[in-house]
C-alpha cells in the first residue's frame, strides 16, 4: 500500500505491499491514484533497485509543477487551472510546489482545497493526464534535494491522500457537517428515506442543519445526484468527477443569496422535485440518457442562482442593470443560466464536445422555462401539440426537452401541491420576499407589482395563484408517459383548505354582523 510505503521508507521492500488489498475494490480509488502516481512508483521501484525512497521521489517535475500551480490558486480557480496546467505543462522547477504543499498541509490549512485539487486533476481526461505524466524526468534524478525536504514532501503527500481517501469513503452526511449531532443526523437520514418521493420533508433537513440552508441544500444535492441517481457511475475518473460536482454544488449554493424564498434551499427543493417527478414517471426517465439526467438535476439545483429576491417585473420597471443587460427578456433567468454555466465549466469540460453542446442547450432552455412569463405559452404550446397528436409521448427523443421544461417548471411551482405544513412554510417565505419588494416599489414610487404587507387577502391571493398554475399539471398529465395526478390532488386539497377557511371566516363575519344587529 502506498500509504504505508510513505510512512515507512526504510522498511525492506515487500512486493505484496504494492498490491491492492482484498477490501480495496470496494473503496473508491483516491484521486492521487487517478494521477497515476502509484503506477509510476511501481515502475520506478523496479528501476530503483527496490529502494522505496527513490521510488517515492519519482514524481516528475512537470507533475509537480501542475500541482504547484493549482495549489497557489484560490478554490474557485482550481479546476480552471487544472485545464490550463495540463495543457501547458512544462518541466519547470518544483521548488515552489514543494514549499507550498508542505506549508499548506503541515499547517492543516484548507484540506478541502487539497481535495478539490486532487479531484480536479483526477477528472481531467485520461489522455491529458497521460500527456502530463509522460513528460520525462523524475524528481529523484533531477537531484539536489535534501533528505529532510524529501521526507517533508512525502509526509505532505501522504496526508493529502489519506484525507482525500477518507472523505471519499464517507457519505455527505458523515463528511460535511461536523456540527450535526447524532440525533440531527438520524433525522436527516430518516428524511432521506423519502428523498425520491413527492412528500419528502426538506424542512426536516433544514431544521436539523440548524437553519443553514446551504448545508441542507448540499446534503440534498449529494444525496440525490451522487448517492441515489448513480448518474456518474459510468464516467471515466468517477471519483474525480464526483469531487468536481461536489465543488460545483458548494460554489453554486454559495452564490445563492440569503433571500426569504429564493435561496439555496429553494434550489435544492426544485432539484428534489424534478428527481421525484422523474422517479414517478419511470418510462420517461428511462428514455433519458445518463448525461441528460445529470444536466437536468444539476440545472434544477442551480436554476435560481444569484437571485436578488426581486421579480423580473421589478427589474424591468426599475431599469435594473440585469434588465438593461438582457434587454428586458427574462433578465433573472438569463443571469441564472450564465452564472451557473460558468461555474459548471470544470466538470462540463470533461465531457465530450457534442455532449457539452447538448448539455448547454438543455441547460439554458430549462432555466429560461422557469420564467413565469412563459407559463401560459408553455401550456398553450403543449395543448397545441396534443391537439395535433393525442399520443404525444414524453419518451420520444424529439419531445424530451419540451417535457423536461414542463417538469422543471412544475417542480418550481410545486409548493401548493405538497402537504399543508410544507406549503405553509414556503408560502410565508415567498410572501416575506414579496412584501420586501413592495416596500421598495412604494419607496421608489414604482407601480406595485406584488402585494403590500397587511393589505393582502391571502385566501383570494392564493386561490387565484392556484387556479393559474393548475392547468400546467392538468395538461402535463395528458402527455403519454407523464402522470401528475398526485400533484393535482395535492393542489386541490390546498385549494379546498383555503375555500373552507374563507367560508368559515365569512360565516364568522356574518354571525358577528347578526350579533351586532341584535344589539
Nearest residue (CB) to Zn ion, 151 versus 339 = 339
The three cell numbers locating residue 456: 393582502
Closest contact distance (angstroms) between CB of 411 and Zn ion is 9
Phi, psi of 445 (to 5 degrees): 75, 20
State in angstroms the smallest separation of the CB of 303 from Zn ion. Answer: 6
Binding of Zn ion by 433 (CB under 5 A) = no
Of the candidates 228, 353, 246, 224, the one whose C-alpha atom is nearest the C-alpha of residue 31 is 246
Provide, rounded to whole angstroms, the least separation between the CB of residue 82 and Zn ion: 31
Q: DSSP assignment of 96-125, as one string? A: HHHHHHHHHHHTT--HHHHHHHHHHHHHS-
- For Zn ion, the closer CB: 176 or 297: 297
Q: How far is the CB of 252 from Zn ion (least distance, A)?
A: 13
Give me the residue label for grid cell 509537480: 64
CB 382 within 8 A of CB 476: yes
Stretch that binds Zn ion, among 150-158, 189-197, 294-302, 409-417 (CB under 5 A): 409-417
Where do runs of H (alpha helix) occur along 369-457? 375-388, 400-412, 420-444
Which of 344, 362, 365, 346 shows the shortest CA–CA distance to 354? 362
Size of the site for Zn ion (CB under 5 A): 2
CB 515, min distance to Zn ion, A: 46
Q: Which is nearer to Zn ion, 412 or 459 (CB)?
A: 412
- Calculate the CA 365 to chain-centre distance: 18
String marking each residue 304-343 x if it binds Zn ion according to CB under 5 A: x---------------------------------------
The continuous run of DSSP H or E covering 482 comes out as none
Which residue, 285 or 412, has its beta carbon nearer to Zn ion? 412
- Which of the ranges 84-92, 204-212, 276-284, 405-413 carries the binding residues for Zn ion, by CB under 5 A? 405-413
SS3 475: helix
Q: At how many degrees (to 10) do helices 95-106 and 111-123 cross?
A: 130
Residue with Cβ nearer Zn ion (251 or 412): 412
Q: What is the DSSP string of 290-321?
A: HHHHHHHHHHHHHTTTT--S--HHHHHHTT-H
Nearer to Zn ion, 232 or 332 (CB): 332
Over the window 227 to 256, marking each residue x when it contacts Zn ion by CB under 5 A and - when it does not, the resulting string is: ------------------------------
Q: Stretches 226-234, 319-327, 406-414, 427-435: which one binds Zn ion (CB under 5 A)?
A: 406-414
Measured from the CB of residue 300, what is the shortest distance to Zn ion in angstroms? Answer: 9
- Find the shortest distance in angstroms from Cβ 369 to Zn ion: 11
Shortest distance, CB of residue 336 to Zn ion, whole angstroms?
9
What's the min distance (Å) between Cβ of 191 and Zn ion? Answer: 21
The least distance separating Zn ion from the CB of residue 105, rounded to whole angstroms, comes to 40
Report the residue number, 239 or 304, with the smaller CB distance to Zn ion: 304
Residue recorded with cell 522498511: 11
Which is closer to Zn ion, CB of 201 or CB of 433?
A: 433
Q: Are 141 and 44 in contact (CB under 8 A)?
A: no
Task: Tell me the window of 147-155, 388-396, 408-416, 487-495 that interacts with Zn ion (CB under 5 A).
Answer: 408-416
Q: Apex CA 115: angle with CA 114 and CA 116, to 5°?
A: 90
* 61-71 helix and 126-133 helix, angle to the nearest 10 degrees: 120
HSE-CB of 16 using CA atoms within 13 angstroms: 2
DSSP 451: P
Can you tell me which of 251, 333, 412, 459 binds Zn ion, judged by CB under 5 A? 412
Helices first, then strands: H and E counts in the chain: 28, 0
Nearer to Zn ion, 213 or 304 (CB): 304
Binding mask 280-309 for Zn ion (x = CB under 5 A): ------------------------x-----
- Number of Cβ within 10 Å of residue 376's Cβ equals 12
Of 453, 410, 411, nearest to 428 by C-alpha is 453
Q: Which is nearer to Zn ion, 52 or 262 (CB)?
A: 262
- Taking the complex as a whole, the smallest distance from the CB of residue 270 to Zn ion amounts, in Å, to 6
Q: Which CB atom, from 2 or from 434, has the smaller least distance to Zn ion?
A: 434
Q: Which residues bind Zn ion (CB under 5 A)?
A: 304, 412
Amino acid at each position: 500500500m502506498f500509504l504505508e510505503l510513505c510512512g515507512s521508507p526504510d522498511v525492506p521492500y515487500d512486493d505484496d505491499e504494492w498490491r491492492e488489498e482484498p477490501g480495496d475494490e470496494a473503496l473508491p480509488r483516491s484521486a492521487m491514484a487517478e494521477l497515476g502516481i502509484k503506477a509510476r512508483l511501481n515502475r520506478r521501484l523496479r528501476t530503483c533497485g527496490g529502494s522505496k525512497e527513490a521510488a517515492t521521489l519519482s514524481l516528475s517535475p512537470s507533475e509537480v509543477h501542475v500541482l504547484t500551480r493549482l495549489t497557489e490558486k484560490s478554490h474557485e480557480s482550481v479546476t480552471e487551472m487544472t485545464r490550463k496546467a495540463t495543457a501547458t505543462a512544462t518541466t519547470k522547477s518544483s521548488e515552489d510546489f514543494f514549499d507550498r504543499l508542505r506549508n499548506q498541509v503541515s499547517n492543516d490549512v484548507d484540506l478541502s482545497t487539497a481535495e478539490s485539487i486532487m479531484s480536479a486533476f483526477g477528472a481531467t481526461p485520461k489522455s491529458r493526464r497521460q500527456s502530463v505524466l509522460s513528460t520525462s524526468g523524475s524528481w529523484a534524478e533531477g537531484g539536489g534535494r535534501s533528505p529532510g525536504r524529501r521526507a517533508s514532501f512525502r509526509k505532505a503527500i501522504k496526508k493529502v491522500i489519506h484525507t482525500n481517501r477518507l472523505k471519499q469513503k464517507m457519505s455527505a452526511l458523515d463528511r460535511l457537517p461536523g456540527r450535526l449531532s447524532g440525533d440531527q443526523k438520524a433525522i436527516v437520514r430518516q428524511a432521506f428515506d423519502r428523498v425520491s418521493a413527492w412528500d419528502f420533508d426538506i424542512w426536516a433537513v433544514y431544521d436539523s442543519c440548524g437553519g443553514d440552508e446551504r448545508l441542507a441544500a448540499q446534503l440534498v444535492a449529494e444525496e440525490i445526484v451522487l448517492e441515489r441517481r448513480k448518474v456518474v457511475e459510468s464516467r471515466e475518473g468517477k471519483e474525480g468527477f464526483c469531487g468536481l460536482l461536489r465543488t460545483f454544488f458548494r460554489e453554486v449554493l454559495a452564490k445563492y443569496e440569503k433571500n426569504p424564498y429564493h435561496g439555496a434551499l429553494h434550489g435544492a427543493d426544485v432539484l428534489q422535485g424534478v428527481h421525484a417527478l422523474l422517479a414517478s414517471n419511470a418510462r420517461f426517465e428511462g428514455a433519458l440518457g445518463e448525461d441528460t439526467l445529470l444536466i437536468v438535476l444539476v440545472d434544477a439545483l442551480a436554476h435560481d442562482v444569484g437571485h436578488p429576491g426581486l421579480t423580473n417585473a421589478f427589474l424591468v420597471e426599475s431599469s435594473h442593470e440585469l434588465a438593461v443587460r438582457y434587454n428586458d427578456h427574462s433578465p433573472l433567468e438569463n443571469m441564472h443560466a450564465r452564472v451557473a454555466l460558468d461555474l459548471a465549466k470544470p466538470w462540463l469540460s470533461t465531457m465530450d464536445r457534442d455532449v457539452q453542446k447538448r448539455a448547454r442547450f438543455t441547460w439554458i432552455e430549462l432555466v429560461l422555462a422557469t420564467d413565469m412569463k412563459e407559463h401560459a405559452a408553455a401550456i398553450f404550446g403543449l395543448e397545441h401539440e396534443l391537439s395535433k397528436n393525442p399520443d404525444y409521448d414524453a419518451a420520444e427523443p424529439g419531445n424530451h426537452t419540451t417535457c423536461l421544461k414542463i417538469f422543471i417548471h412544475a417542480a418550481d411551482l410545486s409548493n401548493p401541491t405538497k402537504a399543508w405544513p410544507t406549503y405553509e412554510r414556503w408560502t410565508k417565505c415567498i410572501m416575506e420576499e414579496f412584501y420586501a419588494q413592495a416596500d421598495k416599489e412604494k419607496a421608489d414610487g414604482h407601480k406595485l407589482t406584488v402585494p403590500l404587507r397587511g393589505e393582502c387577502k391571502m385566501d383570494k391571493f392564493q386561490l387565484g395563484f392556484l387556479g393559474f398554475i393548475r392547468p400546467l399539471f392538468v395538461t402535463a398529465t395528458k402527455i403519454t408517459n407523464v402522470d401528475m395526478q398526485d400533484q393535482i390532488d395535492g393542489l386541490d386539497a390546498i385549494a379546498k383548505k383555503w375555500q373552507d377557511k374563507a367560508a368559515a371566516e365569512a360565516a364568522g363575519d356574518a354571525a358577528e354582523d347578526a350579533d351586532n344587529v341584535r344589539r
